[in-house]
């Protein structure tokens, strides 16, 4: 039920955002009972595309370019910095899904909690930023401008194209994290303290969400990191994972990669426009692979 309530609230906030941007003004929002019950996007029918503001474009209709004045040396520096900010995550075994600290907040799609064993992997310390996207893709589809802010308004398919180009440029093998890798890293890996959110039980210290975001994204890495030194795994933008969205199994699994097929790809972590319930480490949502929205971004894995 909480996820359904979210849709109406998010529509309202997006409308306010668009209106404020059109007038050049600032958004002032009073907290109401409606906003405090905000939930995650409906997992099988994300926010309808007709409510999504179009990416800023040139007269050609293509996303605006921000690399015309970016030298090759600048691009190389930005991409090298992205590579340097990859965190090694030692493999281990954990309980995935509706674990005890989630209590009554856990939704049915977070159940049953099940044992997962993962091999070691690496994941981005930060969400992919707009300057990183620009250095690789030559444009910026984001609604909220800022070189250090997370890129948003990108689909799962867009992320795959970014990764393909980045790997060609660097010779690396970047990819999206699996849902299990994402949750393990969000929980702090083998250093986990069992927090409800990524890095703390105090969401304000680790996340940008509806109570503190001002209805916008923020530069990555401004809040406190989790136990592994990873930032913004709760809030700021929802993050695409590689898996098809599907039901959990009660059986123990090793290096799971999700359902074999489906219509929606997994989204994790909550966003700037949603409440604390949506920013828990076990919250799940999903969207069609071609779905773009100003609450959707991603981080890389290896």
Buried b (16+ CB within 10 A) or exposed e, 108-125: ebbeebbebebeebbbbb
- Per-residue pLDDT of 31-54, as tens digits, reads 323 333 333 444 433 333 333 333
Strands 265-268, 238-244: pairing kind: antiparallel
- Give yes or no for a contact between 274 and 10, defined as CB atoms under 8 angstroms apart: yes
Q: Catalogue all structural domains in the chain, each as residue range(s) with its CATH number.
A: 2-297 (3.90.1580.10)
Q: Name residues whose C-beta falls within 8 Å of residue 190's C-beta, 6 or more positions apart in sequence.
A: 90, 92
pLDDT value at residue 182 = 98
Query: pLDDT at position 69, please?
Result: 73
**pLDDT per residue as tens, the chain (302 positions):** 455 344 434 444 444 443 334 333 332 222 323 333 333 444 433 333 333 333 343 333 345 544 457 899 999 999 999 999 999 999 999 999 999 999 999 999 999 999 999 999 999 999 999 999 999 999 999 999 999 999 999 999 999 999 999 999 999 999 999 999 999 999 999 999 999 999 999 999 999 999 999 999 999 999 999 999 999 999 999 999 999 999 999 999 999 999 999 999 999 999 999 999 999 999 999 999 999 999 999 999 99
**Per-residue model confidence (pLDDT) at position 277:** 97
Size of the chain in residues: 302
Separation CA 295–CA 10 (nearest Å): 10
Residue 170 class from Cβ within 10 Å (0-12 exposed, 13-18 middle, 19+ buried)? middle
**Taking Cα atoms as reference points, which of 126, 102, 40, 89 lies closest to residue 282?**
102
pTM: 0.83
Distance (Å, rounded) from C-alpha 160 to C-alpha 290? 11
- Chain centre distance of CA 100: 24
Q: In sequence order, which residues have a C-beta less than 8 Å from that of residue 100 and are 6 or more positions away?
A: none
**Cα separation of 93 and 66, whole Å?**
43
């Amino acid at each position: 039920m909480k996820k359904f309530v979210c849709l109406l609230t998010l529509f309202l906030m997006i409308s306010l955002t668009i209106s404020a941007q059109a007038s050049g003004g600032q958004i002032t929002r009073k907290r109401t009972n409606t906003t405090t019950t905000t939930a995650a996007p409906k997992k099988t029918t994300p926010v309808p595309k007709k409510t999504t503001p179009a990416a800023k474009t040139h007269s050609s209709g293509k996303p605006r370019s921000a690399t015309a004045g970016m030298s090759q040396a600048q691009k190389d520096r930005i991409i090298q910095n992205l590579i340097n900010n990859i965190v090694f995550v030692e493999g281990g075994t954990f309980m995935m899904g509706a674990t005890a600290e989630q209590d009554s907040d856990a939704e049915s799609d977070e159940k049953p909690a099940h044992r997962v064993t993962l091999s070691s992997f690496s994941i981005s310390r930060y969400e992919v930023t707009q300057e990183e996207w620009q250095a690789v893709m030559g444009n910026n589809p984001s609604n909220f401008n800022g070189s250090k802010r997370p890129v948003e308004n990108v689909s799962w398919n867009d992320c795959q194209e970014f990764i393909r180009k980045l790997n060609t440029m660097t010779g690396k093998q970047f990819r999206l994290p699996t849902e299990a890798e994402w949750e393990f890293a969000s929980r702090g890996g083998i250093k986990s303290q069992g927090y409800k959110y990524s890095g703390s039980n105090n969401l304000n210290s680790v996340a940008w969400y509806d109570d503190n975001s001002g209805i916008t994204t923020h530069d990555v890495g401004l809040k406190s990191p989790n136990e592994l030194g990873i930032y913004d795994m709760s809030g700021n933008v929802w993050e695409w994972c590689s898996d098809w969205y599907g039901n959990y199994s009660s059986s123990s699994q090793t290096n799971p990669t999700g359902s074999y097929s489906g219509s929606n790809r997994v989204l994790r972590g909550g966003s700037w426009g949603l409440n604390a319930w949506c920013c828990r480490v076990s919250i799940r949502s999903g969207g069609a692979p071609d779905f773009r929205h100003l609450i959707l971004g991603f981080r890389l894995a290896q």
